[in-house]
Amino acid sequence: MILGIGTDLCNIERIQDTLDRFGDRFRNRVFTEIEQRKAERRKDVAGTYAKRWAAKEACSKALGTGLRMGIAWKDMSVRNMRTGQPVMEVTGWAAERLAEMTPEGHEAVIHVTLTDDHPWAQAMVVIEARPIGASTT
């Protein structure tokens, strides 16, 4: 069962301008250490940050809150599996909200996809409620 869907489109040049203007203040307010390390290792630093920004926006929409109601930017973060597949993780108020919206006897699974084609970065988040013990195949 689908609990929420969110999408976001982010302008990479806008993120670059924000990085140029606010630097670490912006990075530290919005992105986790893992996200910052990933972005700073990439050739397209701004594009990497823009995809993660879009993922956070999309996740907040899928949670049904937008970026209000107590969700902090760092309550949502993107890391990558060894295969490169992005994984959305939630903590704090975002995790509490996710637990509230998950029906009893189910576990929440957050699916995230990221893409970019300069000057745009895009993310889509789908939150699925899966019966506990159900097969994933």
pLDDT tens string 90-99: 999 999 999 9
Output Rg (C-alpha) for the chain, integer angstroms: 15
- Please give the average per-residue pLDDT across 71-84, as a whole number: 92
Q: What is the pLDDT of residue 71?
A: 76
Burial class (CB in 10 A: 0-12, 13-18, 19+), 83: exposed
* Residue 133, pLDDT score: 81
Question: What are 15-47's pLDDT values in tens digits?
Answer: 999 999 999 999 999 999 999 999 999 999 999
- CA–CA distance, 43 with 121 (Å, rounded to integer): 15
Domain spanning 2-131: CATH 3.40.50.300: no
Domain boundaries, the chain: 2-131
DSSP assignment of 10-73, as one string?
EEHHHHHHHHHHHTHHHHHHH--HHHHHHHHHSSSHHHHHHHHHHHHHHHHHHTT--S-TT--G
Task: Assign 92 to helix, strand or coil.
Answer: helix
Lowest-confidence region among 3-7, 84-88, 130-134: 130-134
Cis peptide before 119 (omega within 30 of 0): yes
